[in-house]
Amino acid sequence: MARLGPFTISISHQPDTKMNPPNKDLPPLKNIEKSGTYVMKLIKPKDDKMLERFKVNKKGYASCRLFFVDGDGNCLTKNYSVEFGKGLAMLVGKMTGSFTPEAPTSITVDNLIRYVAPAFGKRATIEIEATEDKEWNGKMQYNYKLKKITPADPAVYGAKAADDIPESFTSGADEQVPF
């Protein structure tokens, strides 16, 4: 903006706006520093950031960096790779409330995005173990271990009770142990 006498003239061709105006309805984001149980939501990356969060790692495997946040502004970022895909399969399965097979190690980044997409926006109660890692730019960094994940929305599992075990898993199980 330039002032010329009684007039204010915009020198830029763009309007006078902020890139990310603060949302007064939301608390500020802060890293989880203490172990505990949190109701977290898996956030879908913005379209322009998607390929920064999903990419091929140094070993040549598709990997992703997932961001979780709760209603109080507590957040964490966790990395997953299909090199060791059981953790990612468990996360997607628990968040969606359905069985999710392990992704093949040859999966492409585009297909990894499709693989994780059903879990975006889902909430779950997650038991988190937080341990201090190292300081970076004057702030302490943390490693997170997701110990237990339970979908927060009871509609995910319908009317099933938590201890409801299908009959096929219990009938004759002692006689036909596969190992």
Query: Which tens digit of pLDDT belongs to each residue from 73-98?
Result: 999 999 999 999 999 999 999 999 88
pTM above 0.75, yes or no: no
d(C-alpha 99, C-alpha 91), whole Å: 10
Rounded to 5°, the CA angle 137-28-150 comes to 100
Asked whether the predicted pLDDT for residue 4 surpasses 80, the reply is no
Residue ranges covered by each domain of the chain:
27-152
Helix (H) or strand (E) holding 109: helix 109-116
Handedness of CA 157, 45, 64, 72 (dihedral sign): negative
What number is the average pLDDT over the span 54-71?
Answer: 94
Helix (H) or strand (E) holding 7: strand 7-9
3-state helix, strand, coil in the chain (%, to 5): 20, 35, 45
Q: What are phi and psi for residue 147, nearest 5 degrees? A: -85, -40
Asked whether the predicted pLDDT for residue 175 surpasses 80, the reply is no
**Who's near 97: CB < 8 A, 6+ residues apart?**
151, 156, 157
Asked whether the predicted pLDDT for residue 165 surpasses 80, the reply is no
How close are the terminal C-alpha atoms of the chain, in Å?
75
| 55 beta partners | 63
Asked whether the predicted pLDDT for residue 3 surpasses 60, the reply is no
Tell me which of 55-59, 121-125, 129-133, 158-162 is least confident.
158-162
